[in-house]
Amino acid sequence: MKAIVKKSLEIPAKKHPKKSVVKKTADATVDKTYSLVVNLWIFRYEYYREQTNTVPSED
C-alpha cells in the first residue's frame, strides 16, 4: 500500500502593522465616516425639500 504525502501550502504569518500605519488607517476611517454623515444629511435635506414641494396645497 502506497501513501502519497503532499506538502501543504505554507501561509506566512501576518506582520503586525506599525503604529504610523495604524494611525493613517484610523484617520482615513474617520474621514470616510465624516463624509458619510455629511452625505446623509445632504440627502435627508434634499429628500425633505423634494417631499415638501410635491405635497399639494389645500387652498
Per residue in 27-51, pLDDT (tens digit) is 777 788 888 888 899 999 999 988 8
Q: Residue 8 has what pLDDT?
A: 66
Total residue count of the chain as it appears in this document: 59
pTM over 0.85? The answer is no
Residue 21: what residue type?
V
pLDDT at residue 57 is higher than 60: no
d(CA 35, CA 29) in angstroms, rounded, equals: 10
Question: Nearest Cα to 27, choosing from 16, 42, 19, 40?
Answer: 19
- The residues, any chain, with a CB within 8 Å of residue 17's CB and separated by 6 or more, are 25
